[in-house]
Amino acid sequence: MDNRSKRVLVVDDEETVGIGMSEMLKDAGFDASYVTSAPQALDEIKNSEYSLVFLDMVMPGMNGLDAFREIKKLRPCTRVVLFTGYFKDADKAIFEGVKEGMIDVYIRKPFFSEEIVSTAMKYA
């Protein structure tokens, strides 16, 4: 299957990160979009199928772990990769997610474009 048919959603409250990641993924041939909040991501996921979601752990309002749980209820087959720049704050939530068997992989910011693209190729 070619990457073009693989839809990827990036969720990050920092617009520059969302734009940057979605552009990297588009350059690698994915059909990538981004939103800046968990509620927007849930709306997107209700209306469209994505094979993979890159989800920031620490966002205002609904955090990544809560959003992850909602995504899995809506689309159980969608893979979710959590990432964070605030590792200390996210530690407990990541541990919670791992314990619940929800987290396949998580990425720490700052990350390299190869890391994002290779993760997308593996999980999308």
Whether the bond into 76 is cis, omega within 30 of 0: no
Give the pLDDT of residue 6: 92
Instruction: Output the domain CATH number for residue 70.
Output: 3.40.50.2300
Residue 73 C-beta-side C-alpha neighbours within 13 Å: 7
Distance (Å, rounded) from C-alpha 65 to C-alpha 56? 9
pLDDT at 62: 87
Backbone angles phi, psi at 25, to 5 degrees: -70, -40
- The pLDDT profile of the chain, 124 residues, written as one tens digit per residue, is 566 669 999 999 999 989 999 999 999 999 999 999 999 999 999 999 999 999 988 888 888 888 988 999 999 999 888 877 665 655 666 666 666 665 556 666 666 677 788 888 888 8
Q: What is the DSSP letter of 34?
A: E
Cβ count within 10 A of residue 8: 27
Contacting residues for 17 by C-beta, under 8 A, at least 6 apart: 10, 56, 109
Q: List the domain range (segments joined by +) for residue 32.
A: 3-123
Please count the structural domains in the chain. 1
Backbone phi, then psi, for 56, in 5-degree steps?
-70, 140
At 81 the pLDDT is 86
Cβ within 8 Å of residue 5, ≥6 positions away: 31
Reported residue count of the chain is 124
Whole-number pLDDT of residue 98: 64
**pLDDT for res 51:** 93
